[in-house]
Structure 1
């Protein structure tokens, strides 16, 4: 499994192709550097560098790439099994269709959820600068005549799935990319963007808000939400403790669909989230009632990946309920 991270390594922060890469789990600061790595076994990682990483994406047998951004209080060894599960579900549905690639940002899970929440929120914001550099590297590589000549371009579809606070990482990454590199606007880089149990304010996708850039960079933006998501209730409690009162996108869906761009869709998962992920009802987008068996939310995501459309039978439909 190949992955990208801005967590500090125990080794030098200087990139060295082929070296062993060990996560420094005692350091939850966001590195300005990014590392392109391969996981070869449990707690076994090798740095491969950005050129090799991007060439592997291009030469993969899979037709599409799905970038996976995890939520808060997730250490690397929590993320990798979740990604492996999602990859296995994709392969079960159609072999060589989707390659799942995680982005690992620096969470801290030592001090309890309220303290962790604010540490992780800061790390999510700080990660924006390093991950916007990843997007710049990708654009430079894609436009390079050396690596992608006209007679051999990279034709992979790129999609992104952000879970929980990973949505904040995604949003702030695009804000930083727009501010520092592309002030005239972002390119349409993602075919599908899936915002699952999003731990951001529920008006963030509206025109003029910080999350509007997610819509600019995506063909489709699908919001999966559930009102009884207990992890987001804890998030809300953490925000209230710090005098911030706002409903979460992953609880209610967009605050006002009429104020969001037309490429935003909402999917109510209230009837299945606690069946699939008891008792938190937060990670309901992978397996269903039985581990390794696709749930209905996963099926909806995978259908969108295959078709490139959220509701292919009704071009004007923007919402649904999964039962």
Structure 2
């Protein structure tokens, strides 16, 4: 599995293609450097470099790429397990359609949920500049006539799925990219952007707010939410303790659908989230009631990936409630 990370390695931060890459789990500070790697097995990783990773993605026997940005309190092996589960579900649904590319940002799970939350929130913000560099590298690679000549362009569709605090990473990375590298706004980079259990305020996608750029960079933005997501309740409690009072996007969906772009869609998962991830109801976008069997949230995501449309049966529809029909 290919992956990108700004976590520090135990080795030097100097990139050396072909070297062993070992995560320094004692260091959860974000690195200014970004590492492009391949996972070969349990805690076995090799650094391949940005040009080689992008070439491998281009040459891969898959039609689309799904960039996966994980949530807080996830160590690398947790991220790989989740990405592998999602990959297996995709391959079972339609072989050679979706290739999952995890982006691993530094977070910690040693000190309890509230302490972790604030450490991870800072790490998410600090990761923005690093991951903005990834997007800038991709544009430079895509526009390089040596890497992508006119008779051999990269035709892969790119999608992104951000879970929990990974939505903050995505939001801040686009803002940093726009602020420091772009002249006139972010390009349309993603076919689908899926914001699952998003741990950002529910006005984030509105015009003038930091998440507005997510809509600019995406053909479709689909928000999956559940009001009884216990992990986001802990997040809300942590925010209230620190005098930040706002409902989370992953609890309510967009605050006002008329205030967000017409390419933003809202999906209520309240009827299935705790059945799929008991008791927290937070990680409900992969398997359903049985491990390895897709749930209705995954099915909805996958249909959007394949068709490029959130509600292909009704071009004007922007909201739905998901039910799996099991008592």
2:33 maps to 1:33: yes
2:286 maps to 1:286: yes
**CA offsets, 1:147-187, max 9 Å, x none?**
00000000000000000000000000000000001131111
Q: Residue in 2 aligned with 1:214?
A: 214
**CA offsets, 1:84-141, max 9 Å, x none?**
0000000000000000000000001111000010000000000000000000000000
SS in structure 2 at match of 1:36: strand
Measure the CA separation in 2 of the matches of 1:22 and 1:183.
37
Q: Residue in 1 aligned with 2:73?
A: 73
- Which 4+ runs in 1 deviate beyond 6 A? none
Q: Residue in 2 aligned with 1:168?
A: 168
Measure the CA separation in 1 of the matches of 2:57 and 2:16.
20
Q: Residue in 1 aligned with 2:239?
A: 239
**Equivalent residues in 2 for 1:1-323, closer than 5 Å:** 1-323=1-323
In structure 2, list runs of 5 or more residues that go unmatched. Answer: none
**CA offsets, 1:223-261, max 9 Å, x none?**
000000000000000000101101000000000000000
Measure the CA separation in 1 of the matches of 2:74 and 2:30.
14
Deviation at 1:271, TM superposition (A): 0.1
Deviation at 1:21, TM superposition (A): 0.4
In structure 1, list runs of 5 or more residues that go unmatched. Answer: none
Deviation at 1:66, TM superposition (A): 0.1
Measure the CA separation in 2 of the matches of 1:82 and 1:108.
17
SS in structure 2 at match of 1:82: helix
Indicate the RMSD between aligned Cα atoms, in angstroms: 0.4
TM-score, normalised via structure 2 length: 0.98
TM-score, normalised via structure 1 length: 1.00
Measure the CA separation in 2 of the matches of 1:254 and 1:95.
33
Deviation at 1:313, TM superposition (A): 1.3
**CA offsets, 1:47-75, max 9 Å, x none?**
00001100000000000000000000000
The number of residues matched between the two structures is 323
